[in-house]
Amino acid sequence: MRHLPFVCLFALTVGCAPAPLTVNTFTSGAEGFDTHSYWIDTGAEVVVFDAQFLPSSAEQLLAEITAATTSPVTHVVVTHPNPDKFNGAPVFQAIGAEVMMSEASAAALAGVHAYKEAYFVGAGMFAEGEYPALVTPDVTFTGALSLPLQGGLTLTLTELSTGGVTTTQTVAALDGAVFVGDLVAGEAHAWLEGGIVDGVATPDLPAWDAALVELGGLVPAETTVYPGRGQPQAVADAVAQQRAYLTALDTVVADVLATRADPVAALSGEDAANVYAEITALGELAYPDHSLSYLLTYGVYGLAWQQALATP
């Protein structure tokens, strides 16, 4: 693994005028949690943003890229340490691409991988020993990384000051576009599990809100946000809508738990499925135009447990 300092400049092809940026989108099926990966082709190289949950989905993404261009895939950016962003990365390493992430994301990988492997194997979604192998990143950075690309574009990776959907968050910006993983869910329901800290799902909605505010001030107002799920949006709209969503769902969870005399007991027993179904129904009612409510059903447990354990 190469660790790069605050700003690192790679070799830049001199004299090349930037080509208009086209952002290509690959979306997995529900077996990969409807996850977006994006890729851009500079005319000389391809950069991929987030690598999918299943290696088979990553292979489909790679096949799509190789069918569309002869430019090699040189870099894969992982925006945050959730397995739908990094499990598929070894597929790209096998063809010579470098996997890039923040040092904080790299430090979180092993704990997240162990937690998710235990869950998915325990749930019967993978046989023992068949869960995707843990990736080792090729390049890490702290703070920010400026990467001139062949073809005249410059990619800027920025590690935000706080976590978002998980414990740490990188955003990748170039030429009017910013790739943010699940920091934003464009008119789709969010995954409210939280980051995995010492083997425990630990959501931090104030940190997520702060990260959204930071995103809004980091890029120009005309920038398009490309989210891990859902629709691209103008940065101001994406930030405002996601902040409002987090506040609303925090209230929804609190309201449902308030109907239980003992929220911890409710989440520990047979009533748990009812609790999550009620939260999902109220979330759908509050956001009837949002897609992927199953992510709310299965991901909200982190926020629900956090609130339940804090109840006097």
CA distances from 21 to 41, 79, 166, 216, 285 (A): 8, 20, 29, 21, 37
- Tokens (6 digits) for 206: 């104030």
Q: Is the dihedral of CA 79, 80, 84, 85 positive or negative?
A: positive
CA–CA gap between residue 288 and residue 153 (Å, rounded) = 39
The count of domains in the chain is 1
Confidence of residue 169 (pLDDT cuts 50, 70, 90): very high
CA–CA gap between residue 106 and residue 83 (Å, rounded) = 12
Question: Is 303 among the domain residues?
Answer: no
pLDDT tens for each residue of 238-277: 999 999 999 999 999 999 999 999 999 999 999 999 999 9
pLDDT number for residue 85: 98
Alpha-carbon dihedral of residues 67, 230, 154, 5, nearest 10 degrees? -110
- Read off the CATH number of the domain in which 145 is found: 3.60.15.10
Q: Count CA atoms closer than 13 A to 308's CA, side-chain side.
A: 21
Q: Quick check: 27 pLDDT over 90?
A: yes
pLDDT number for residue 14: 37
The boundaries of the domain holding residue 127 are 2-235
Question: Is 132 among the domain residues?
Answer: yes
Global confidence as pTM: 0.93
Q: What is the mean pLDDT of the chain?
A: 94
pLDDT number for residue 133: 97
pLDDT number for residue 151: 86
pLDDT number for residue 2: 55
Question: Is 294 among the domain residues?
Answer: no
**How much of the chain exceeds pLDDT 70, in percent?**
94
CA–CA gap between residue 161 and residue 210 (Å, rounded) = 8
Average pLDDT rounded to a whole number, residues 137-156: 96
Q: Quick check: 283 pLDDT over 50?
A: yes
Residue with the two structure tokens 């005309």:
222
CA–CA gap between residue 156 and residue 178 (Å, rounded) = 9
Average pLDDT rounded to a whole number, residues 4-22: 46
CA–CA gap between residue 135 and residue 86 (Å, rounded) = 7
pLDDT number for residue 12: 34
pLDDT tens for each residue of 73-122: 999 999 999 999 999 999 999 999 999 999 999 999 999 999 999 999 99
Residue 156 neighbours by CB under 8 Å, 6+ apart: 144, 145, 146, 147, 172, 173, 174
CA distances from 71 to 42, 109, 139, 154 (A): 8, 29, 21, 17
Confidence of residue 4 (pLDDT cuts 50, 70, 90): very low
Question: Is 241 among the domain residues?
Answer: no
Contact, 296 vs 303, CB < 8 A?
A: no
Give the 3-state secondary structure of residue 220. Answer: coil
Average pLDDT rounded to a whole number, residues 147-169: 96
Nearest to 33 by CA among 14, 57, 10, 17: 57
**How much of the chain exceeds pLDDT 90, in percent?**
92
| Range scoring the smallest mean pLDDT among 75-79, 147-151, 194-198 | 147-151
CA distances from 259 to 253, 266, 278, 299, 309 (A): 10, 10, 11, 20, 15
CA–CA gap between residue 220 and residue 117 (Å, rounded) = 39
